[in-house]
Amino acid sequence: LIFDEIQTGVGRTGKFFAHEHYGVTPDIMSIAKGIGGGFPMGACLATEEAASGMTLGTHGTTFGGNPLAMAVGNAVLDVVLAPGFIENVGRIALRLKQSLAELKDRHPGVIEEIRGEGLMLGLKLHTPNTDFVNEARAQGLLVVGAGDNVVRLLPPLIVTEADVAEAVSRLDKTAGAIEASLKRPAAE
């Protein structure tokens, strides 16, 4: 069983690895992004049994063991594995998800559904996500469109409750502006 936790690993979903939410453990797992904390690095993790097939010459890497990348990875792990860090991610993520649910209730014509886990969330929209992305930018908030008419929200793991409140306020203004644009008559 092989899992790709390149985006979901290292605390992003409120657990160290996303598979921990489901009680399933992979034999092989790829991780990146989170392990480097913004520095480009990745790793292939494997159980002892699965790794036994990765003999010299069968599993290669261009930059494997790069000393700078390894130092960065160790520094990231020092922070993420510190007592209470991941629990705080989960707590802040719950607050964000609850706030987004309230936002959905205030703007049902714009926001269809809240998706995701931890600090890897998405707003499934009734209106074009490109319009939402552009209006969010006008409100001073950077969000990214994704497939299935979703806007992705990926705040840093060090996000604070004050940051969440500010972001939700800007999302509220964004959704309000989208609603107002829907009520305007089309230009002739």
pTM: 0.87
Boundary-marking domain end, from 64, 80, 96: 80
Q: Give the pLDDT confidence score for residue 63 in this predicted structure.
A: 73
What domain range is 18 assigned to? 2-80
Shared domain check, 132 and 47: no
38 burial (CB, 10 Å; 0-12 / 13-18 / 19+) is exposed
Start-to-end CA distance of the chain, whole Å, equals 58
Is residue 188, in this structure, part of any structural domain at all?
no
What's the CATH code of the domain at 125?
3.90.1150.10
Q: What is the mean pLDDT of residues 130-159?
A: 96
Cα–Cα distances (Å) from 154 to 8, 57, 122, in that order, read: 11, 37, 8
Is residue 21, in this structure, part of any structural domain at all?
yes
* Mean pLDDT value across the chain: 94
Examine the pLDDT at 16 and tell me if it is beyond 90: yes
Examine the pLDDT at 22 and tell me if it is beyond 70: yes
Parallel, antiparallel, or unpaired: how do β-strands 120-125 and 144-146 relate? unpaired
Shared domain check, 76 and 90: no
Examine the pLDDT at 62 and tell me if it is beyond 80: no
Q: Please give the tally of structural domains in the chain.
A: 2
Residue 131 CA to residue 181 CA, distance in Å, equals 10
User: Where residue 82 falls among pLDDT bands split at 50, 70, 90?
Assistant: very high
Q: Give the pLDDT confidence score for residue 187 in this predicted structure.
A: 60
Residue 139 CA to residue 136 CA, distance in Å, equals 5
